[in-house]
Amino acid sequence: MIWTILACLLLLPVFSAAEVVPPAEGGKLPDIRLAIPADAGYRTYLGIKGEGTFSLPQIKAPVVIVEIFSMYCPHCQREAPSVNDLYSKIQSSEKLKDKVKLVGIGVGNSPFEVEYFKKTYSIQFPLFSDGEFIVHKQLGEVRTPYFIGIKNHRDGSHTLFYSKLGGIADNAGFLKLIQAQLNQ
């Protein structure tokens, strides 16, 4: 009897960890809450008002791209210029700039670390701290960088059209994928 109880206790973390998986394309995000930015420019960019928290699907855009990163991740550091290029292409396109928003979430990073990453790599879009790994756990403890594409529907619902580990190898191809979501 004691051996059975010990075996169950030892296996409990294994089964608990197996329940949370990365978000699947075609699925929905868990209820991730982020602090509304203090920066008025970021609030305007996201279309978010007030104080407190918001969820990613509340961002006022048909498409939201989320980068899960860590300041300490060398892959994220190498990917930063490409992500900046993606953001620049979105912002310079009259067809995309009001319809596609980009945000980053620094998993395991304090606000100071997120700000350091932002300044070091000249990131222009909003970055959020997930110092306690809360969002990271909700997303199935994905490795970094990890990108999620959210399609917000007019009825207030959303679906994920992209959910992948690693950098975006081809910004032009990714922009075509985004455009296809906007055309639906």
Q: What CATH code is carried by the domain that includes residue 53? A: 3.40.30.10
Instruction: Provide the pLDDT for residue 68.
Output: 98
Instruction: Provide the pLDDT for residue 5.
Output: 46
The total number of structural domains in the chain stands at: 1
Residue 16 lies in a domain: no
Q: Give the model confidence (pLDDT) of 47-101 as tens digits.
A: 999 899 999 999 999 999 999 999 999 999 999 999 999 999 999 999 999 999 9
Residues 6+ apart with CB under 8 A from 108: 70, 72, 130, 131, 133, 136
Residue 134 lies in a domain: yes
* CA-wise closest residue to 123 among 157, 80, 72, 73: 80
Residue 12 lies in a domain: no
**What is d(CA 130, CA 138) in angstroms, rounded to the nearest whole number?**
11
Residue 113 lies in a domain: yes
Residue 9 lies in a domain: no
Token digits for 109?
């990073």
For residues 99 and 10, which has the higher predicted lDDT (pLDDT)? 99
Q: Tell me the DSSP string of 8-32.
A: HHHHHHHHHHHT--PPPTTS-----
Residue 13 lies in a domain: no
Residue 42 lies in a domain: yes
Structural domain harbouring 128: 22-183
Which strands form 146-152's sheet, in the order they lie side by side? 127-130, 100-107, 63-69, 146-152, 158-165
**What is d(CA 23, CA 64) in angstroms, rounded to the nearest whole number?**
15
Q: Give the model confidence (pLDDT) of 113-162 as tens digits.
A: 999 999 999 999 999 999 999 999 999 999 999 999 999 999 989 999 99
Mean of pLDDT over the chain? 92
Whole-prediction pTM: 0.88
Residue 2 lies in a domain: no
